[in-house]
Amino acid sequence: MIEELLPPGVTSSEAFDDAAPAPLFPAEAALMEGRRARRRRQFATARACARRCLTDLGGRPVALLPGPGGAPRWPSGVVGSITHCEGYRGAVAARASTVSALGIDAEPVGPLPKGVLSLITSPEERAELAELTSADPSVPWDRVFFSAKEAAYKAWYPATGIWLGFRDATLALSAAGTFEATLRPPVPTPVDPVYRGRWLVGPELVLTAVAR
């Protein structure tokens, strides 16, 4: 599914369960010690997806350990992103010479838990959501919104190391399957704060991806 959202030069791999064997490197396995079985399985399957991306790019399937802020540390010269949720594990990667930033996010279809929408959107964004909902109530627009902001954050963070809350981003969402996220960091950075991406909704999943 995710490949539909990606530009040329970005490789992807995804899984919808944890059935395939997904061995971990010792340092990764150590990280998962004491974690719940579900988290361990999701982590391992998503790592297997990420390693398939690396070999697709002609690289070696190395251990991918988290850096500061939880972002995976990809090998030098590679950018990538990982996501997992109920029923989905996925990874994308590209040569940094071709693509400078990647972010993906998966969410289950269905409304956000009560109270979350007002925490992640401005009044203007809620007006935009109301318009989108009245034009097409079949799309879980609030989930798409949430997911698109997370995808933008995953592309932003590795380049800057700056944490941003959901209200530090303004999202413009198009019914045609694209979006633009404008991030507002608390300090100036040389990194362009505007990220464009694509979204799709399947029967059970919302997927978003940012690439530039």
Ligand X SMILES: CC(C)(COP(=O)(O)OP(=O)(O)OC[C@H]1O[C@@H](n2cnc3c(N)ncnc32)[C@H](O)[C@@H]1OP(=O)(O)O)[C@@H](O)C(=O)NCCC(=O)NCCS
Residues of this chain that bind ligand X (CB under 6 A): 43, 46, 66, 69-72, 82-85, 105, 149-150, 152-154, 157-158, 164-166, 168-169, 183
Closest CA relative to residue 46, chosen from 88, 11, 4: 88
Least separation in angstroms between residue 9's CB and ligand X is 20
Least separation in angstroms between residue 8's CB and ligand X is 23
Least separation in angstroms between residue 106's CB and ligand X is 6
Closest CA relative to residue 81, chosen from 17, 18, 19, 147: 147
Closest-CB residue for ligand X?
Answer: 70
Instruction: For ligand X, give the closer residue by CB, 18 or 150.
Output: 150
Least separation in angstroms between residue 145's CB and ligand X is 10
Instruction: For ligand X, give the closer residue by CB, 168 or 180.
Output: 168
The amino acid present at 130, given as its one-letter code, is A
Instruction: For ligand X, give the closer residue by CB, 57 or 149.
Output: 149
The amino acid present at 31, given as its one-letter code, is L
